[in-house]
Amino acid sequence: MRGWFWRVGWLPGIVRGRAGGDARGVRRLWSGRPPRTAAARAALAGVGGAAVLVTGLSGCSQQSGDGAAQAQLVAPVGVSAAEFAQLPRATTFTSIPAAPLDPDPFAVTGGLVVHPLTAQVVYGAPGKPPIGVLPATEVGAPTWVPVVQTSPGWDRVLLPSRPNRATGWIFTAGAAGSRLQIRHSAYLIRIQTGARTLSVDDGGRPLGTWPVAVGAPGTPTPTGRTFLLALLAPAHPTYSPLILPLGVHSAAFSAFDGGPGTVGLHGWPDPSVFGHAVSHGCVRVPPTALHVLSGIPLGTLVLITQ
């Protein structure tokens, strides 16, 4: 991924930027405090240059079921190479119209997150036809998505595509499991648009609660559960050294500044906005909150409520 470039102008309220990444920057970073790469520290200190910053994940790997569970496996529908090539890719730029919506959009998950080592077919349900493909990378970083439901040999995950709350099923049994990494994120990010606050928990341990700016009435921040999609550092930041796109989109903008209107978390130089509904849909956070968010693993659940 070295030399990869990114326009961050597609985030509501975000200027054009540039970022570069390197797959070797993916590391397992886990400690009592949210860890941070040297690149992230440099970005927060205002040092020039931009990078895609990815926080590694560690924890439990998927366990195989017992014989009874294995006997209940539903085999996936076969997909030819030609059919695979025609399926829409599940990215922040695309729409997956056939994707089933999240059945419980305000529930907290168990913290499991999945990374496809190679592009994986996404199905509407176990044994049902395919609806798309989940690529191994998203916006220049490894794809990590949260698991919201499980069935023997299958995981249902949140997708970064439109419509908001889109989900899909990935087959995890047998050889398919070797093409996936399954980890656990103990973190939970909560955003309350009515109270205009953001809080972070680490395994139930509060790390802080901060006043934030959320979407204005005409451009509201969408609610429901989503996830951290990427961590970007603009080459020439104007109001935030870091930007964290989420797996959700503005309902007010079908496109924004040449992009798909992805909603994100980012800083803001004027502290008077915190505690108010004034943004284009993104969540503006104070420096201390951005400092904590920069160390949270990709794929971590973000629960947005009113």
pLDDT tens for residues 140-198? 899 999 999 999 999 999 999 999 999 999 999 999 999 999 999 999 999 999 999 99
How far is residue 268 from each of residues 11, 14, 229, 300, measured CA to CA in Å?
14, 11, 20, 23
Whether residue 305 is predicted with pLDDT greater than 80 in this model: the reply is yes
8 Å CB contact between 286 and 267? yes
Nearest 5°: CA angle at 143, between 133 and 213?
115
Query: Structural domain boundaries of the chain?
Result: 23-56+186-305, 72-184
Stretch 65-81: mean pLDDT: 75
The pLDDT value recorded for residue 13 is: 41
Query: 105-126 pLDDT, tens per residue?
Result: 999 999 999 999 999 999 999 9
pLDDT value of residue 259: 77
pLDDT score of 43? 39
Q: What per-residue confidence (pLDDT) applies to 71? A: 54
Confidence of residue 58 (pLDDT cuts 50, 70, 90): very low
Find the range with the poorest average confidence among 48-52, 74-78, 299-303.
48-52
In whole angstroms, what separates CA 264 from the centre of its chain?
A: 10
CATH fold for the domain made of 72-184: SH3 type barrels. (2.30.30)
Q: Measured over all CA atoms, what is the biggest interatomic distance in the chain, rounded to whole angstroms?
A: 59
Share of the chain above pLDDT 90, in %: 71
pLDDT at 72 over 90: no
| CB proximity list for 90: less than 8 A, separation 6 or greater | 96, 99, 122, 132, 133, 134, 135, 159, 160, 161, 166, 168
Residues 189-245 pLDDT 10s: 999 999 999 999 999 999 999 999 999 999 999 999 999 999 999 888 889 999 999
pTM of this structure: 0.80
138 versus 45: which is more confidently predicted?
Answer: 138
CATH class of 23-56+186-305: mainly beta
pLDDT averaged over every residue in the chain? 81
DSSP state of 213: B
Q: Are strands 262-267 and 283-285 parallel, antiparallel or unpaired?
A: parallel
What was the pLDDT predicted at 255?
A: 77
pLDDT computed for residue 17 by the predictor? 31
Distance CA 158, CA 103 (A): 11
**What's residue 256's pLDDT?**
77
